[in-house]
Structure 1
Amino acid sequence: MCKVIAVCTSEKKGTAKQMVDEANLIEEFGIEGDAHAGKWHRQVSLLGLEKIDEFNAKGGGVNFGDFGENLVISGIELTKLPIGQRFKVGETILELTQIGKQCHDKCEIFYRVGQCIMPTNGVFTRVLKGGKVKVGDEVILLENENKTLSL
């Protein structure tokens, strides 16, 4: 089963995010109070737990939110999903809009961690349906409005 392991937010771009128990996602905007929220295609960022674990196994020593990710998800290889893939996460529906990104030039994350895995392992989504997302929520891949993909 895919599920939410951590929910993280920050008030400023280019910084590590802090873990919270739950967040309110606003349709076509993003996480309420998060620096990356807005009318664009990268409203909510996701990173796989397995990628963070791999980084830490090599001596990384990072915490959830250190790469600037909003949601840490377990049980699925996010970068293998197609653009346009929809997810039901808690009360919300997210749509995958971008895989990877160009990193900020020597942002706070670089100085704290030494490298960032978001450019190669992070994915970005927009909020199609708002609502609450909390730690432990199931993540369901949607084929369309009426069908669910098997994991």
Structure 2
Amino acid sequence: MSEVVAVSDALADLVEKGFTRDHGRLEAIFIRLPNEGREELQEASLTKAEGVGGDRWNTNDPRTQITLMNAKVLDCVSQGDRSRWELAGDQLIADLDLSVSNLPVGQRLRIGETIVEVTEIPHTGCKKFVARYGADALNYINAEERADLRLRGVYVMVIEEGVVRAGEAIEKI
């Protein structure tokens, strides 16, 4: 069995088992540095102006400054190699069901001192994701029949600024 098929099979098994729905956990925080560098942080400031403090991705649109991805999905596409999590480019990695049914647009989450809100902008991945994890992984994640699961993650915007720390609870509010 090819490595690609193994990732798709593992993702299918993961989807079938389901995800943590109400009370999640912030598993990791990453920032993107110049020249494609990454850094994992134990804590970060979330602000309306910058999104994640220190992250090079800074848009004028607060709805697209921060991405949140499911840790189990990321671990699966990384084939269990946590050192490859940073390559996804997402800042917040969470053990939480990101599906439309669990986190509709406008759903707010308390993470540490902050409150963020799920935005309507789809997060679908890019050619860098394909280069790092494979086309079949992205095709599985982005398949139309699984779009409502949001396996690639969601965009969130800051409602209340503050500090988040790896390991903190995530609560739907």
The TM tier, using the shorter chain, reads 0.7 to 0.9
Matches of 2:164 and 2:60, distance apart in 1? 20
1:131 aligns with 2:153: no
Aligned CA-pair RMSD:
2.5
Matches of 2:115 and 2:87, distance apart in 1? 25
CA deviation map 1:82-127 (0-9, x unaligned): 00000000110000003642433x33x4323324657552111000
Matches of 1:130 and 1:77, distance apart in 2? 23
**Counterpart for residue 3 of structure 2:** none
**Counterpart for residue 82 of structure 1:** 104
Cα deviation, residue 61, structure 1: 4.1
Opposite residue 91 of structure 1, the aligned amino acid is E
TM-score (norm 2): 0.67
Which runs of no fewer than 5 residues in structure 1 stay unpaired?
Answer: 143-151
More helix by share: 2
**Counterpart for residue 119 of structure 2:** 97
1:34 aligns with one of 55, 59, 64: 55
**Counterpart for residue 42 of structure 2:** 21
1:54 aligns with 2:76: yes
Cα deviation, residue 2, structure 1: 1.2
CA distance 1:28–1:95, change in 2 (3 Å): farther
CA distance 1:64–1:31, change in 2 (3 Å): same
Q: What number of residue pairs does the alignment pair up?
A: 136
1:45 aligns with 2:55: no
Opposite residue 94 of structure 1, the aligned amino acid is V
Which runs of no fewer than 5 residues in structure 2 stay unpaired?
Answer: 1-22, 143-149
